[in-house]
């Protein structure tokens, strides 16, 4: 079954063709980063307009790269939530129109479930049940994937998302949006013990994370340096911040691996590209005897292929939508809860 899938929840316009949930025939991505960078973050209005301009061409590219026309497509899939509402609506309306015009099934997909399903594309042997942690610009969630369409949210951030924290800390260092990747590079050059930042956790919970205290600590530290004329070592700050993030993630995942029976872990989302987090979680899984399924960097960030992967399993479970499909900005966690 060939699924043409769309993703437009944030600042990337994506379309992909995926066969039977596992094989990527094409994965076209148009990033809007340059349009947003000068504002220091994603501007929702600009994102919606850019998706509207790009989506037809991105769809054409996905079909061409797959060597197909719409005649070779069996279903249309789209991210319906969560995300920026105006941005989501562009993908949802485009997908609805295409499905209606071609008489094809329309499959709605939860963006977070899509990030998890990226694991099926990278690891042909991966099958539920397993554990997953999704860390992106908008989410930080630990999930028990009981079956392809059966999810239990175990823990999440109580405030900012991991990517948001990376981007805000980067901003303090004068790094343009999105700064996560540059923070990764700088952190490798600094001393992680230079500044003792608090770990990114909620003490009263075994599974929840919190990034806002850490973010404030980084901002306060930078202000302190500014006021006292102390030199701010960018590499040390990036390394110390990253260590606090890694310690938070490590402690929550350690608790989850102790408390839950599944011993396979998928790391997804843009922040799962971070080399220090990957190293920390790799060591943790070795210690705990768990199998870690990392994703190639191309499948960590937003893409259409991950939506096409989850869509296949949604379709098999009877999860389709009619012409009244709407987008939702919030994270009702799944269509099946
Ligand atoms: O999953 P994603 O592409 O989009 C959302 O769904 O939000 O994640 C984007 C986030 C941004 O905050 C970006 O700074 C962060 O992922 N990111 C990283 C790295 N690469 C991207 N954060 C830390 N280290 C990286 N190497
Ligand atoms: Zn995402």
In a domain, 325, yes or no: no
In a domain, 322, yes or no: no
Mean pLDDT of the chain: 95
What's the average model confidence in pLDDT over 155-182? Answer: 94
Q: What is the residue range of 158's domain?
A: 127-299
Residues 293, 307 within the same domain? no
**Ligand 1 pocket member 137 (CB < 6 A):** yes
**Ligand 1 pocket member 181 (CB < 6 A):** yes
Ligand 2 center to 195 CA (angstroms): 30
In a domain, 327, yes or no: no
Q: Give the model's pLDDT for residue 40.
A: 83
**Residues 78-88 pLDDT 10s:** 999 999 999 99
Residues 143, 92 within the same domain? no
What gap in Å lies between CA 166 and CA 200, rounded to an integer?
12
Q: Do residues 143 and 132 make contact, with C-beta atoms less than 8 angstroms apart?
A: yes
Task: State both tokens at 178.
Answer: 């999105």
Q: What is the CATH number of the domain that holds 103?
A: 3.30.420.40
In a domain, 206, yes or no: yes
Residues 29, 84 within the same domain? yes
Q: Give the model's pLDDT for residue 266.
A: 98
Residues 133, 253 within the same domain? yes
**Residue in 42, 243, 271 to alter for ligand 1 test, most ligand atoms within 8 A of Cβ:** 271
- What confidence category does residue 124 fall into, taking pLDDT thresholds of 50, 70 and 90? very high
Cβ-Cβ contacts under 8 Å for 242 (sequence gap 6 or more) = 183, 184, 187, 192, 274, 276, 277
Residues 29, 150 within the same domain? no
In a domain, 321, yes or no: no
DSSP 36: H
Query: What percent of the chain stands above pLDDT 70?
Result: 98
Residue nearest to atom 16 of ligand 1 (CA): 270
Statement: residue 304 has pLDDT above 90: yes
Q: Give the model's pLDDT for residue 35.
A: 86
Residues 169, 99 within the same domain? no
Atom of ligand 1 nearest to the CA of 273: 26
Atom of ligand 1 nearest to the CA of 302: 3
- What confidence category does residue 332 fall into, taking pLDDT thresholds of 50, 70 and 90? low
Statement: residue 337 has pLDDT above 60: no
In DSSP notation, 129-184 reads SEEEEEE-SS-EEEEEEEETTEEEEEEEBSSS-HHHHHHHHHHHTTPPSS-HHHHH
**Residues 88-98 pLDDT 10s:** 999 999 999 99
Q: Do residues 210 and 216 make contact, with C-beta atoms less than 8 angstroms apart?
A: no
Ligand 2 center to 83 CA (angstroms): 9
Residues 159, 269 within the same domain? yes
**Ligand 1 pocket member 144 (CB < 6 A):** no
Statement: residue 333 has pLDDT above 60: no
Ligand 1 center to 93 CA (angstroms): 26
- pTM for this structure? 0.96
**Ligand 1 pocket member 11 (CB < 6 A):** no
For ligand 2, an ion, list residues with CB under 5 A.
136, 302
- What confidence category does residue 334 fall into, taking pLDDT thresholds of 50, 70 and 90? low
Ligand 1 center to 328 CA (angstroms): 22
Ligand 1 center to 305 CA (angstroms): 17
């Amino acid at each position: 079954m060939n699924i043409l899938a769309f993703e437009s929840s944030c600042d990337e316009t994506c379309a992909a063709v995926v066969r039977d949930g596992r094989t990527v025939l094409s994965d076209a991505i148009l990033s809007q980063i340059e349009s947003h960078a000068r504002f220091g973050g994603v501007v929702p209005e600009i994102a919606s307009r850019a998706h509207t301009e790009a989506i037809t061409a991105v769809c054409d590219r996905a079909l061409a790269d797959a060597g197909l026309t719409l005649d070779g497509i069996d279903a249309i899939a789209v991210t319906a939530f969560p995300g920026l509402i105006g941005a989501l609506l562009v993908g949802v309306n485009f997908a609805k129109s295409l499905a209606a015009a071609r008489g094809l099934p329309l499959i709605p997909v939860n963006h977070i479930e899509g990030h998890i399903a990226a694991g099926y594309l990278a690891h042909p042997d991966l099958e539920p049940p397993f554990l997953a942690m999704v860390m992106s610009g908008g989410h930080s969630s630990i999930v028990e994937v009981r079956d392809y369409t059966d999810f239990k949210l175990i823990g999440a951030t109580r405030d900012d998302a991991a990517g948001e924290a990376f981007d805000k800390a980067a901003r303090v260092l004068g790094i343009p949006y999105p700064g996560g990747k540059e923070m990764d590079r700088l952190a490798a050059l600094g001393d992680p013990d230079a500044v003792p930042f608090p770990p990114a956790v909620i003490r009263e919970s075994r599974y929840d994370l919190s990034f806002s205290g850490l973010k404030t600590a980084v901002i306060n530290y930078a202000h302190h340096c500014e006021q006292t004329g102390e030199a701010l070592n960018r590499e040390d700050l990036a390394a110390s911040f990253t260590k606090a993030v890694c310690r938070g993630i490590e402690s929550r995942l350690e608790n989850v691996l102790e408390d839950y029976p599944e011993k396979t872990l998928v790391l997804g989302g843009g922040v799962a590209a971070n080399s220090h987090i990957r190293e920390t979680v790799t060591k943790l899984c070795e210690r705990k005897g768990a199998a870690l399924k990392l994703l190639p960097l191309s499948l960590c960030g937003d893409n259409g292929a991950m939506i096409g992967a989850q869509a296949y399993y949604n379709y098999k479970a009877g999860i389709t939508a009619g012409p009244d499909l709407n987008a939702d900005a919030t994270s009702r966690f799944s269509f099946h809860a």
